[in-house]
A and B are shown apart, each in its own frame.
Chain A
Amino acid sequence: MIGHRLLRSPAARAALATRSRWRLVAISCLLGALTVIAATGLLTASGYLISRAAELPPILSLSAVIVLVRFFGISRALLRYFERLVSHDLAFRTLTDLRKRFFERLVPLVPAGIGGLRRGDLLSRFVGDVDSMQNLYLRALTPPLVAILSGVICVAVAYLILPAAGLALLVMMLLGGVLAPVVSRVAAHRAGRRQAEARGALATSLLEILNGSAEITAAGRREDWLERAAADDRRMLRLQRADAVSTGLAEGLVTFIAAAAVVAVAWATAPAVADGLLRGVWIAALALLTMGAFEAISPLSPAAAGIDAVNAAAGRIEAIIERPAPIAEPDDPEPVPDTGSLRLESVDFAYEPGRPVLTGIDLELNPGEAVALTGPSGAGKSTIGELLVRFRDVTGGRVALGGVDLRRLSGAALRDHVRLGPQESYLFATTIRRNIEVGRHGAALADVEAALDAVGLDPWVRSLPDGVDTFVGEGGVRVSGGQRQRIAAARLLLCGARFLLFDEPMAHLDPDGATGLELRLTARARQRGQAILVISHTVADPRNYDRIVELRGGRLAG
């Protein structure tokens, strides 16, 4: 059953997230239903008014109904206004809760637990998914409840006037509120499934043309790629045309049912009037009531058609939120030792069983020492950095700080002593100063400036009109790859950890810059008695280090 599947879908579980806000949900539904009822009341009262007037009564006897008509008219507009405010408020509140929960669940998953999903654009896709859940809260959650609530009342009123009319209305509302949305959803689902593959192929050929235009042109192969893109385009267009007709008809269904409902109610009412069982004034009122009642039904079909997109987004969010944390925090962590060295002891590591990345690694980083870890790209250097701060767990052997296995320490406490500057260092869309302060919250300005000086950025920062308070990233100054790298290094230098691990700090720098930064980093760490491990595919000057170890084929050499 479609309904059954829907109730067990990620979207339904996401909808349940509003239960802590049930009061807002209730108010929103109530206001929505009252809005529909006011609109229906306006039409019904108007229909009654003019029918009664047609019986030529004294005008004064109509005044009560005239007041009612005006009351419904004004209250409908006001109710609608408040309903929209409440439902948006509910959506934003729920979204904030969801964001916070999503972020908290994401933290322990980065970087080990999300597989290849490390890159920023994938994360931003998840952020987009979280945002798109507002479609659920605004368009799919309350409308069905509003339709049920207002539908029951409209049917009840019609039933009280004439049972046959009430039954006719009930049947038509069920058709419009259940059948039409189901048809819409099936049509949209089918279209989405059929188009997905064509869409992917088209995106691939377009992306190739955009990224490879120079090479395609240089090779004189333009027409080949244009023809390929055109073929993908034609296939897509053919599917879209075919699906447009079926989705269009599904959308038109609810308009037809709404109009047919008026006919059905009139048909059910006419005999009663002809037989004198019902006063004639009611027939117009009932026909117009039917028109009003369908106002709650019409948003259901588009919502049903859009449920696939919401479901997919909810599913992706769930997949992240429910992923097991790759690192288990100890129940009763030991205090982090203040002395001793950081050691890898016969460490093995594999991302997947049977394909070892690291085998039998022994590496020691003593207090105050400067060590370089080199090796070809893909050798597992960055993995060693991640093992040392326990972003990942070893699959064999152990990592120990001052003789204590890292698995017996709290992760946060460990990272106060051992700090890693990840390879893809990230600059937040804020000031230079705030970006560096990520290394140590609430650091004094003098310390930030000293760190900038240590990475050789001082002259550049001084040349900026706003100095350390210059915005970087989005909307701020453009920062070159090298400057980004240096800011990230300054961030790491600011922290007071005993062990500093730099992953590829000299990437994106020209040879002079790389040599200079290497010297500055190692000298500064030495001066402050911090141990430093530089992970890099090349060493600019071996004299900067106490030791250089090379990682090759998953083993240490030299």
Chain B
Amino acid sequence: MIADRSGPNRPPEASRRARQAQRRLIRTSRIARRQLVTTVLIGLAATALLIAWASLLAAVIAGVFIDGRSVAEVTPALIWLVVVALGRGLASAAFESTGRVGAAAVMSELRTRLTRHLLISRPGALQGEHSGELVAAAVSGVESLESYFSRYLPRVALAAITPIAILAWVIPIEWRSAVILAVTAPLIIVFMVLIGRLTEARTRRRWGLLQRLSSHFLDLAGGLETLRANNRAGAQSEAIARVGEDYRRETMGALKVGFLSALVLELLAMIGVAMVATAIGIQLAEGQLGLEAGLTVLILAPELYLPLREVGNQFHASTDGMVAAEQIFAALDEPPAVAVPDETVPAPDPTAGPLELQGITFSYPGRGEVLSGLELSVQPGETVALVGPSGGGKSTLVSLLMRFADPEAGRIECAGVDLARVRPDEWRGRVVWVPQRPTVFSGTIADNVRLYVPDAGEDEVERAASAAALDELLRGLPQGLRTRVGEGGRRLSAGQAQRLALSRAFLSPARLAILDEPTAHLDAGTEQEIVAAIERLLEGRSALVVSHRQRPLVAADRVLELTGGRLQPAGVAA
């Protein structure tokens, strides 16, 4: 999508959200606060150097022109000017460098908070969906934050420091110019706000349209194969040109208004400089002012307006720069999914007594109750199959059993111990879980098999792999178990990932197994192999096997159907 750097096509709400994120960043991040202080300090130094620069330059020029000094006489002043020039270069380098360092440190701090939050408070809350987007924000978001810290923040600091410092310097030298500056500079701010207000409604109206137009191209490209199969691609290429033209016209319409504020600011600044120049000129001609003083003021005058104008020009950096932080804050704001009790009891042993679910109720916002007063009991060593239509709450039940979420009402007990009183981590250590879509972590296949038991020996890993019917895959790989998989490694098919997850389970000593749709998305042949592996896995374990099929694929002691949020024996025909 097209985002003009200085134009008005950020939605007005975005700047409000960005302001909130800025405040929050300063409030919660020590690094961000330190960055603010550093920026102000550099701003002070830069302003002092600017005033020194103007005074020295004026002295040199007046010295040569009015006092008729020779080159040799002004050389020391010229050398000082070079030194001050170096200082000014260093100040702008410092803005840039500290801005970048600060942005990197703040992003790193946010990333740490994010990973801890996700792993400790909300495991399993963010499966797939927009995780890619969040990672992009957490890794590449640093770029926009860099321009916030190294461009926007310095401009704000300078806009607050420089005009006041220059005014304070000019008043004793030439009060008439000081009055002109003191009147016009606030006018710039007043006009900036006024124009913003006037154009806001218009900007808001266009914004919605612009957004629709910009997503159109994305939409067409995404559905290209469909368009081509239906012989509609040619017509769409004309549509792209047409929509692009509409987009341009709309954007230009918005920019004509948006750039107006910049125009007014520049006009005011230019008129201010011209007025100062004229006022100084007249006073000089009347002999009321020296050239050196006049030149100092003239050189400083445009520098007083510059930061004010630039704040406006860099305003986008304040909203763009916060986008990544906003996204991370939104993820951090999600409340912890499981309440951890203050006083805990040791986790029960699933072989010591039954797993009992009593009156379990759970609902999602906007979807109503998925589980309502569900009752279930699994005896040690028993295999219970759970069937039901997709969306019926089977995976929710698994999440509750794994303590990734708390039920709204009801209790989960194991061997007579209420799981709400057990540390979730400790309970999870007693369970082995095969998820519906297992994650393949980057590393070797052996590393992946060792997920539950990181220190398992080579032969144990091999046994687990062959029990999970991974042999055939391994035989085809020259490096066998040492083959790298996951990101940057070999891609595994859904069936291979499923088998990998089973091999992890084989290695685990836990005596309670929870299998979530272990054969979904598999063809008949692969399914058979996996079913055989599952049956081997369940020997000697209590188990809950979830499946959307009418007939479960595993020999189960009981088959229950989850419908309407409750369990009932499934059709005995199975």
A103: interface (CB < 8 Å): yes
CB within 8 Å: A-B pair count: 432
Which residues of the other chain, B, contact A474 by a CB distance below 8 angstroms? Answer: 215, 219
Measured CA separation A428–B236 after assembly (Å): 12
Q: Is the CB of A274 within 8 A of B270?
A: no
A104: interface (CB < 8 Å): yes
Residues facing B in A226-282 (CB within 8 A) are: 226, 229-230, 233, 236-237, 240-241, 243-245, 247-249, 251-253, 255-257, 259-260, 262-263, 266-267, 269-271, 273-274, 280-281
Q: Is the CB of B115 within 8 A of A206?
A: yes
B122: interface (CB < 8 Å): yes
B100, B123, B125, B221: the one contacting A248 at CB < 8 Å is: B100
Measured CA separation A280–B441 after assembly (Å): 76
**Known contacts A221-B454, A377-B523; A127/B278 CB under 8 A:** no
In the complex, what's the smallest C-beta–C-beta distance from A440 to chain B, in angstroms?
A: 8
A92: interface (CB < 8 Å): yes
A337: interface (CB < 8 Å): no
B545: interface (CB < 8 Å): no
Q: Is the CB of A377 within 8 A of B57?
A: no
Q: Is the CB of B550 within 8 A of A511?
A: yes
Contact flags A482-515 to B (C-beta < 8 A → 1, else 0): 0000001001000100000000000000110000
**Known contacts A89-B248, A216-B119, A537-B523; A134/B281 CB under 8 A:** no
Stretch among A2-10, A51-59, A358-366, A521-529 lining the B interface: A51-59
Measured CA separation A237–B283 after assembly (Å): 56
Measured CA separation A47–B297 after assembly (Å): 11
Which residues of the other chain, B, contact A229 by a CB distance below 8 angstroms? Answer: 111, 115
B92, B229, B431: the one contacting A420 at CB < 8 Å is: B229
Contact flags B463-482 to A (C-beta < 8 A → 1, else 0): 00000000000000000000
Q: Is the CB of A266 within 8 A of B439?
A: no
B277: interface (CB < 8 Å): yes
Measured CA separation A203–B428 after assembly (Å): 27
Q: Is the CB of B240 within 8 A of A438?
A: no
B17: interface (CB < 8 Å): no
Measured CA separation A81–B138 after assembly (Å): 37
In the complex, what's the smallest C-beta–C-beta distance from B218 to chain A, in angstroms?
A: 5
In the complex, what's the smallest C-beta–C-beta distance from B70 to chain A, in angstroms?
A: 5
Question: Chain A interface mostly helix, strand, loop or mixed?
Answer: helix
Q: Place the interface of chain A in its size category.
A: 35 or more
Q: Is the CB of A50 within 8 A of B277?
A: yes
Q: Is the CB of A214 within 8 A of B277?
A: no
In the complex, what's the smallest C-beta–C-beta distance from B106 to chain A, in angstroms?
A: 11
Q: Is the CB of B439 within 8 A of A211?
A: yes
Q: Is the CB of B225 within 8 A of A225?
A: no
Which residues of the other chain, B, contact A421 by a CB distance below 8 angstroms? Answer: 229
Which residues of the other chain, B, contact A123 by a CB distance below 8 angstroms? Answer: 221-222, 224
A66: interface (CB < 8 Å): yes
**Known contacts A54-B284, A415-B231; A202/B139 CB under 8 A:** yes
A322: interface (CB < 8 Å): no
Measured CA separation A416–B232 after assembly (Å): 11
A319: interface (CB < 8 Å): no
In the complex, what's the smallest C-beta–C-beta distance from A511 to chain B, in angstroms?
A: 6
In the complex, what's the smallest C-beta–C-beta distance from A26 to chain B, in angstroms?
A: 19
Q: Is the CB of B119 within 8 A of A273?
A: no
Smallest CB gap from A203: residue in B? B139
Contact flags A364-380 to B (C-beta < 8 A → 1, else 0): 00000000000111100
Which residues of the other chain, B, contact A213 by a CB distance below 8 angstroms? Answer: 118-119, 122-126
Which residues of the other chain, B, contact A126 by a CB distance below 8 angstroms? Answer: 221
Measured CA separation A85–B456 after assembly (Å): 67
A131, A215, A243, A426: the one contacting B225 at CB < 8 Å is: A426
Q: Is the CB of A251 within 8 A of B298?
A: no
Q: Is the CB of B89 within 8 A of A212?
A: no
Q: Is the CB of B433 within 8 A of A107?
A: no
Q: Is the CB of A283 within 8 A of B229?
A: no
In the complex, what's the smallest C-beta–C-beta distance from B391 to chain A, in angstroms?
A: 8
A-B pairs with beta carbons under 8 Å apart, 24 shown = A53-B280, A53-B294, A54-B65, A59-B285, A62-B285, A70-B278, A73-B273, A74-B270, A77-B266, A88-B7, A96-B244, A100-B240, A103-B236, A106-B221, A111-B225, A130-B217, A206-B115, A211-B131, A245-B97, A255-B91, A263-B81, A284-B65, A376-B525, A441-B235
